[in-house]
Amino acid sequence: MTIRIGIMGYGNLGRGVECAIKQSTDMELAAVFTRRDPQTVSILTPSAGVYRVEDAEKMADKIDVMILCGGSATDLPEQTPKYAKQFNLVDSFDTHAKIPEHFDAVDRSAKESGKLAVVSAGWDPGMFSLNRLYAESILPCGSSYTFWGKGVSQGHSDAIRRIKGVKDARQYTIPLENALEAVRSGNTPEFTTREKHLRECFVVAEQGEDLERIEKEIVTMPNYFAEYDTIVHFISEEEMQRDHSGIPHGGFVIRSGKTGWEEENIHIIEYRLQLDSNPEFTSSVLLATARAVYRMAAAGMTGCKTLFDIPPAYFSPKDGRELREHLL
Amino acid sequence: MTIRIGIMGYGNLGRGVECAIKQSTDMELAAVFTRRDPQTVSILTPSAGVYRVEDAEKMADKIDVMILCGGSATDLPEQTPKYAKQFNLVDSFDTHAKIPEHFDAVDRSAKESGKLAVVSAGWDPGMFSLNRLYAESILPCGSSYTFWGKGVSQGHSDAIRRIKGVKDARQYTIPLENALEAVRSGNTPEFTTREKHLRECFVVAEQGEDLERIEKEIVTMPNYFAEYDTIVHFISEEEMQRDHSGIPHGGFVIRSGKTGWEEENIHIIEYRLQLDSNPEFTSSVLLATARAVYRMAAAGMTGCKTLFDIPPAYFSPKDGRELREHLL
């Protein structure tokens, strides 16, 4: 029996889900939905069709789980509650501050329809959240740290591109090795923003622009760069193309906690991701979550859930006995 | 409302559970059960009583979750199925090859009584298993690696102590940095036993013994040392006492996997533990699992489960909204 997946939105994330389906023998791509003209969208899977977003509702009986691959700023707040009326689904909503609000809207919608929705699947929120939860539950006396990078921050790259005279830019968030080592050594320091991460920028300037002015505008930009040590490199378009076309990311979740009657023993739990492709890894989490959604829905669960609510075995195509024999 | 915990067996693990309860405001220690004369066992918690193992059955209504702190060789195969007839419980059964058999015996017993049992909670099996499962589910095309250490192996220390002329011994299992780096770099090498771990031994010899003979007996011991590079240090009793009285352990679970239509992107997921006290960390996992057992039992679940079956939120004292607001 195969789980039929629908992809809503065919950008980096949607294409990543399509690639992940190729690696999963218990899944198949049923359809891709796009806001563009379907004639202009060519996908990689010969057996699947491309349809207009408006056609999704007619195809509810052909799709077991819909994976929403839109953005968190404007797409998902509207789409997830809407499609939860007809589909079991999963999204990667990642605006941390608005998760409770998003959750409530989706929960209302999915409870009304009797469907199951999982929101905020990915790596942060997602696998990082799970690791924060497990680690804090095991070691209640302690401190948790999240470090991001080394990786491309889309938001910071965009902020640089908005500066006058900038043709292209790529910003890497880099965790500071000193800070990581301090946490790993069992200390529980409180860091300033500057002490945790460094920002490294690669910028292509327009011909004849004042590079000093651009650099100054970058490093003094409030919220984005002013609170950090920021390094700016001016490079050519060719160098940008050659050296910075990937979308790597990753990071660390570290919990340092104490046990013992007098809290005499220190334990460090560290979870680390090194990702060649931020969107493809997120897509891979989305697809494994779609498998879990399918099973939880089959077991009669409805409403909105997060990764916190999913028994881990549901992510795997293997059955309980196989998991206990080979992975436990 | 407080979860009343019973501890069955008061060794390192039982004492660790007792310490962990002190850090958990939603738990209390109801009773410790021992095979020794209760008069001779002094515990740290003034409010809790110490009872004979035989008295446990009379106290079923005073205990919400029993934590079995015996050994996997002889205690748990007998105790866990037995006490699952009367208690919701958790154990740390860690003989990997016998988990399916243990699971089945406990499952039969717990289903008959309508109780809930979770077996093999700890770190390996336990948190390492969970990380193997999540990582393999997200990245189906790839290889998983488990490294242990640096940490004390009780079994290997005991094996050295059985050699004639050895007064005391401590063996550390040490993962090889080269092997870790090879995996982290995105290669998926196949290692020999010798390439993954080193064994370092600290030995106190009896006066006048032939140290060369002892060293040779250690490094050539089949199954324990012959397949490894082994380093032997002879030290004094004072040095043993001063430098090697702790029970540290830890290790790494690393998954290296590929995504993309042509598998062009590599991702590394790494989970690492550095534990000052192996038993206290295991105890901390057992206690968090006891919280989950309590809730799953309250939700009507029965039979035997493992960490694979537990929604992560159940491990935390925080409610769903709080978790979504602060940890997601």
Query: What integer pLDDT is reported at residue A300 of this predicted model?
Result: 97
Residue B233's Cβ-side half-sphere holds a number of Cα atoms within 13 Å equal to 14
From the list A289, A315, A319, A308, the residue with the least C-alpha distance to A88 is A289
Nearest chain A residue to B263 by CA distance is A19
Lookup: tokens for B282: 């295991």
Asked if residue B88 has pLDDT above 90, the reply is: yes
Cβ contact B259–A280 (<8 Å): yes
Nearest by CB: A277 against B259, B311, B313: B259
Residues of chain B positioned with their CB less than 8 A from the CB of A44? 261
Residues of chain B positioned with their CB less than 8 A from the CB of A308? 311-313, 320, 323-324, 327-328
From the list B248, B236, B242, B230, the residue with the least C-alpha distance to B167 is B236
Query: What integer pLDDT is reported at residue B42 of this predicted model?
Result: 96
Asked if residue B54 has pLDDT above 90, the reply is: yes
**Whether the predicted interface score ipTM is above 0.95:** yes
Q: Please, are residues B80 and B107 in contact by the beta-carbon 8 Å criterion?
A: no
Residues of chain A positioned with their CB less than 8 A from the CB of B134? 127, 130, 312, 315
CA distance A276 to chain B (A): 5
Cβ contact B260–A274 (<8 Å): no
Other Cβ atoms less than 10 A from the Cβ of B45: the count is 17
DSSP character at residue A316: S
* pLDDT, mean of residues B118-139: 98
* pLDDT, mean of residues B245-266: 98
Element (H, E) at B205: strand B197-205
Asked if residue B1 has pLDDT above 90, the reply is: no
Nearest chain A residue to B313 by CA distance is A308
Nearest by CB: A323 against B133, B265, B312: B133
Nearest chain A residue to B95 by CA distance is A328
Percent residues over pLDDT 70 in chain B: 100
Which of A13, A137, A252, A255 would best serve as a mutation to test chain B binding (most B beta carbons within 10 A)? A137
* pLDDT, mean of residues B121-134: 98
Cβ contact A265–B285 (<8 Å): no
- Quick: pLDDT tens for A229-269: 999 999 999 999 999 999 999 999 999 999 999 999 999 99
* pLDDT, mean of residues B193-205: 97
Nearest chain A residue to B103 by CA distance is A324
Cβ contact B259–A265 (<8 Å): no
Mapped onto helix, strand or coil, the DSSP state of residue A78 is helix
CA distance A161 to chain B (A): 27
Average pLDDT, chain B: 97
Nearest chain A residue to B16 by CA distance is A260
Rg (CA), chain B: 22
Question: Which residues, including other chains, have CB under 8 Å from residue A267's CB and lie 6 or more apart?
Answer: A139, A142, A256, A257, A258, A259, B273, B274, B275, B276, B277, B280, B281, B284
Query: What integer pLDDT is reported at residue A187 of this predicted model?
Result: 87
Cβ contact A137–B288 (<8 Å): yes
Q: How far apart are the first and last CA of chain B?
A: 26
How remote is the C-alpha of A168 from its chain's centroid? 24
Cα-based torsion angle of the residue sequence A41, A44, A47, A52 in order, rounded to the nearest 10 degrees: -20
CA distances from A326 to A23, A117, A323, B102, B268 (A): 20, 30, 5, 15, 21
Alpha carbon distance B297, B60 (integer Å): 15
User: Hey, CA dihedral for B187, B189, B194, B199, is it positive or negative?
Assistant: positive
The residues of chain A scoring below 50 in pLDDT are none
Q: Please, are residues A266 and B268 in contact by the beta-carbon 8 Å criterion?
A: no
Which of A21, A123, A187, A265 would best serve as a mutation to test chain B binding (most B beta carbons within 10 A)? A265
Alpha carbon distance A5, A27 (integer Å): 7
Nearest by CB: A328 against B125, B313, B325: B125
Q: Which residues of B226-237 are buried (b: 16+ CB within 10 A; e: fewer)?
A: eebebebeebee
Query: What integer pLDDT is reported at residue B187 of this predicted model?
Result: 87
Which of A278, A308, A319 would best serve as a mutation to test chain B binding (most B beta carbons within 10 A)? A308
Cβ contact B310–A312 (<8 Å): yes
Nearest chain A residue to B145 by CA distance is A327
Lookup: tokens for A301: 């669960």
DSSP calls for B135-203: HHHH--SEEEEEEE-SEE-HHHHHHHHTSTTEEEEEEEEEE-HHHHHHHHTT--PPPPHHHHEEEEEEE
* Residue appearing with tokens 């991001």: A148
Query: What integer pLDDT is reported at residue A167 of this predicted model?
Result: 97
The pTM score is: 0.97
